[in-house]
Structure 1
């Protein structure tokens, strides 16, 4: 059984909830069982935001995660808050452009990727979340790049479909970093 139990966390406005929704939708397109549970503070943009995503070959028992096998963080407070929830042997992927701290634990794998800087270099800061997801797909293989592109076409409004080629470039950039 292959199962990804993931928390994506950062500030509102970084595309945290959208990233989780895209992953869940891509998993659903592949016929997997999925759940997506968003959580955010009342201030939205600039406040805290996180979501739990489960993608599994088996039925999902609950969308609420006490522990996770993968954590994606796009700000320092999220690393502090969720590091302890990662199971031994799990994975933490961090936007090293914004998160200077590294996990204190030695029983997990840690990858820092300068997603915000790479997105800035591409000319669009909103691609940082997609760059991070590219690294996630490279490490876990939980969904294919093709399914992710199909999810973009379904989740994004038609007026934003012109951005999909650049979104896919960002995904590949993160994947290959």
Structure 2
């Protein structure tokens, strides 16, 4: 098994954290992982993306030009990365702020309205965990118990009291993700 993922959005959406938690989760399952962040100089609002590779075998290079899965969290990232999903791959997107929806018919497209759900849950900071939950429903590449271990590893100990809320958000993301019909 080898899964090559790009997670892309604005800084402040938890893009890099989501990738790090996914990578730690793979490590907890004794898998080979690569985590390669890319972000602009802005603290919040600039573009951010992270490439994560999870594999049973050695990873030859962290540099990717095509992805098995793209998790897209803003229009700028949709414009940039939709074309780089491998044929037969998966694109997951949050509908908030997306004006040009995916058009490819050779990939499977899922929508998760994580922004709205995080607001409903009164916990905007769990946005990225809702998205991660949706991804893991579609592509269960790591076990949830290892994601929780990954959360413990990536969150400072002073924030460990937030882990149950994050676990709830992951489970909610698994419930609300749905496949989309792509219109030409």
If the TM-score is normalised by the length of the shorter chain, which range does it land in?
over 0.9
TM-superposed deviation, 1:32: 0.3
User: Is the CA contact (8 Å cut-off) linking 1:9 and 1:51 kept in structure 2?
Assistant: yes
Partner of 1:165: 164
Partner of 2:36: 37
Partner of 1:108: 107
Q: Structure 2: which 5+ residue stretches go unaligned?
A: 177-184
Superposition RMSD in Å? 0.8
In the alignment, the residues of structure 2 paired with residue 101 and residue 176 of structure 1 have an alpha-carbon distance, to the nearest angstrom, of: 25
Number of residue pairs aligned between Structure 1 and Structure 2: 176
Please list, as runs of the form range in 1=range in 2, the aligned pairs for 1:99-138 lying within 5 A after superposition: 99-138=98-137
Partner of 1:150: 149
User: Is the CA contact (8 Å cut-off) linking 1:36 and 1:54 kept in structure 2?
Assistant: yes
TM-superposed deviation, 1:126: 1.5
In the alignment, the residues of structure 1 paired with residue 46 and residue 141 of structure 2 have an alpha-carbon distance, to the nearest angstrom, of: 29
The worse-fitting range, judged by mean Cα deviation, of 32-41 and 96-105 is 96-105
Partner of 1:90: 89
- SS of the residue corresponding to residue 62 of structure 2 reads coil
Cα deviations by residue, 1:9-50 (Å, 9 ceiling, x for unpaired): 000010000000000000000000000000001113100000
TM-superposed deviation, 1:101: 2.6
Moved over 3 A (4+): none
Please list, as runs of the form range in 1=range in 2, the aligned pairs for 1:20-35 lying within 5 A after superposition: 20-35=19-34
- SS of the residue corresponding to residue 64 of structure 2 reads coil
**TM value normalised by structure 1:** 0.97
- SS of the residue corresponding to residue 43 of structure 2 reads coil
